[in-house]
Amino acid sequence: MTTLSSLLPLPVAILLAGAALAPLAIRVSRHVLTAVSVLASLASAALLVAFAPSVYGGRVLTEYLGNWKPVDGQVLGVTFGVDAWGLTFALVASAVGALLLLFLLSTNAQLGNRELGASACLFLLLDAALVGGALTADLFNLFVWFEVAALASYALTAFFLERPPALEAAFKLLVLTNVASFLIFIATALLYTEHGALNLGQLHDALVRHTGGADLVALGLLIAGFGTKAGLVPFHGWLPDAHTAAPGPISALFSGLMVNFGIATIGRLVFTVYPLAGTHVLGLLMVLGLVSALGGAVLALLQDDLKRLLAYDTISQMGVLTVGLATASGTGLAGTAYHLVNHALFKSLMFLCAGAIVHATGATNVSEMGGIARRMPWLVGAFTVGAAAIAGIPPLNGYVSLGLIHDAVLGSGQPLPYALLVLAQAITVAALGKVVLAFLRRQRNPYARDERLRLGMISALVLLAGSCLTMGIFPEWVLDNLVEPASSAMRDAPGYAHAVLSGGGRITVAEVSYRYLEPLEVALVPVTLALAVPLIWLARRYRDSDAVRRIRSVQTGSVNDYAGYLVIGLLVTVASTAVAPLLR
């Protein structure tokens, strides 16, 4: 008899099947390719939705691949275990992935059949890796999905080989991601050597009994490895180049989904596998988050290339998410879960808008985009929705998730991190505000192209903009049905461990308190908007100054420098997780 949990591998298998069929479907026709590829994503999402009533009700579904069940608490095979945290990310990856794939196939209609089929294949392969990584309860299997995602991302970044920046960006991504993969592999080997376990539940039980120095070194390696995937400073070197060089929908896939995978996995490892290793780990996450939030926002403000600006803003948003994790509170974890979904929506929307502008006009720099508002007012409207959502302006979705994170930081008695988050938010508003203002200016020179946007492209933009509004208008429903169970899954590590070792189980769902019209959060909206105005003026006034050039020079373009940043970050991370406890 088929049980619900026995269907857990199917969402991944369907995406992998879609990837295999894409090069064959294009031989029939382009319409068949679109139907096969998009339906594979939608079918995967539909199956995940079927798990939702049970999982968001507090259950953890578990499936042992090959029917290799645990014996006396020991697991030899690969386990899939889905709780509300993992299901939330998997649902977003498959549903938003379908929209991005539709946009990709519409944008690249000028490609030859072979190239179009290959792009759909690689896209689905990357999406399958993200869904598989969200559903797995095995550390080595998590490493395998990381590798699958990495391989697909190299090819997607370098897809247009005739463009030198694309090939260079893919090389930087390959170097840094391979280093990250090596760190994750070594960490996995250390944990297996110490405990003879790869199952996340079994590892949790072993680490509760004894957490040694090797285990803490492994935690530092894991944070550095997945921090590279997330683009946290100083592991971020690959991200601006890869996002800028890739086509718009691929940049949206990287920024909206792939980097989120890094944050979601760090949360899983720190809270579910390790018995919350101590305040030193939370302090490390807080520092990484604040440096990324501020550094990404400042560098975004100083950019003229639109996609590069959005890429740096992604680094900033990953920092905000990491700060939410660092609070280790129910409110902070709820805010992180909410913001993970929101970031996938509004950042995908904005990268698709950037891709649509490049497709329609050929313009890539913000300074060249005057007249866009008159020419494509609805596209400017969609971009403005995304910008307002990131800025935390009600009634859009970012207002709620940022409010939860801010409340958690203040509630934990950390006024300085709160002030730095507000400053990062104001700089972010300035960076995105200058783009909207550029759209409203008069057109100075004729555009290189005059293309119309296709129906698939328009549909994706409308659906993403509508989702940003819907997630902000109905926060109570989102909190009660999605965010509270996801937050609770992170806080009930023993429940998760028991479930993945016992063929299923339940976690305790705890309520998260939230006031939509919190006076401090409402007052923050005009404050950040007011602060953004002089910041925009300063960025324009001093854009060619020596100080600005020195700040920009941090992103040198040299893969050697980026690898150096990563190594420095690795040393700091391992020292914080393994050495700091010995000095206390």
Structural domain that includes position 426: 5-583
User: Strand, coil or helix: what is 136?
Assistant: strand
Tell me the pLDDT band of 581, cut-offs 50, 70 and 90.
low
CA distance 88 to 86: 5
Give one DSSP letter per residue of 61-76, joined into a string.
EEEEGGG---BTTB--
pLDDT tens by residue, 338-357: 999 999 999 999 999 998 88
- Sequence-ordered list of residues with C-beta below 8 angstroms from that of 196, at least 6 positions apart, any chain: 74
CA distance 516 to 207: 39
With 50 as the cut, is the pLDDT of residue 112 above it?
A: yes
Residue closest to 188 by CA, chosen among 225, 213, 133, 151: 225
The helix or strand, by DSSP H or E, that contains position 81, with its residue range, turns out to be: strand 79-82
Neighbours of 106 (CB within 10 A): 20
With 50 as the cut, is the pLDDT of residue 44 above it?
A: yes
- Give yes or no for a contact between 464 and 349, defined as CB atoms under 8 angstroms apart: yes
Q: What is the pLDDT of residue 278?
A: 58
Which DSSP letter does residue 3 get?
-
Tell me the pLDDT band of 1, cut-offs 50, 70 and 90.
very low
Least reliable range by pLDDT among 160-169, 333-342, 507-516: 160-169
Extract long-range pairs of 450-455: CB within 8 Å, 24+ residues apart: 450/360, 450/361, 451/359, 451/360, 451/361, 452/360, 453/356, 453/359, 453/360, 453/376, 453/379, 454/106, 454/107, 454/109, 455/106
**What mean pLDDT comes out for the span 44-50?**
95
**What mean pLDDT comes out for the span 311-330?**
94
Tell me the pLDDT band of 331, cut-offs 50, 70 and 90.
very high
The token pair at 118 is 């290959």
Number of domains in the chain: 1
The Cα angle at residue 320 between residues 571 and 506, in degrees rounded to 5? 95
CA distance 124 to 481: 28
Is it true that the peptide bond before 23 is cis, omega within 30 degrees of 0?
no
With 70 as the cut, is the pLDDT of residue 109 above it?
A: no
pLDDT tens by residue, 3-36: 788 899 999 999 999 999 999 998 888 889 989 9
pLDDT tens by residue, 470-486: 998 999 999 999 999 99
Q: What is the pLDDT of residue 373?
A: 84
Q: What is the pLDDT of residue 504?
A: 86
Q: What are phi and psi of 199, to 5 degrees?
A: -65, 135
- Give yes or no for a contact between 101 and 120, defined as CB atoms under 8 angstroms apart: yes
CA distance 276 to 279: 8
Q: What is the pLDDT of residue 2?
A: 55
CA distance 396 to 469: 5
CA distance 436 to 329: 36
- Give yes or no for a contact between 227 and 281, defined as CB atoms under 8 angstroms apart: no
CA distance 415 to 520: 13
> HEC string of 351-393?
HHHHHHHHHHHCCCEHHHCCCHHHHCHHHHHHHHHHHHHHHCC
Query: C-alpha distances in angstroms, 82 versus 63, 496, 504?
Result: 9, 9, 9
Percent of the chain having pLDDT more than 90?
Answer: 58
pLDDT tens by residue, 378-401: 888 999 999 999 999 999 999 999
With 80 as the cut, is the pLDDT of residue 94 above it?
A: yes
Residue 60 bridge partners (DSSP):
505
- Give yes or no for a contact between 381 and 440, defined as CB atoms under 8 angstroms apart: no
The mean of the pLDDT values for the chain is: 89
The HSE-up count of residue 227 (CA atoms within 13 Å, CB side) is: 32
CA distance 12 to 567: 33
Render the burial of 476-506: b for 16+ CB within 10 Å, e for the rest.
eebbeebbbbbbbbbbbbbbbbbbbbebbbe
Residue 74 bridge partners (DSSP):
71
pLDDT tens by residue, 426-462: 999 999 999 999 998 887 777 777 777 777 778 888 8
Tell me the pLDDT band of 223, cut-offs 50, 70 and 90.
very high
pTM here is 0.93
What is the greatest pairwise CA distance in the chain?
73
Q: What is the pLDDT of residue 550?
A: 81
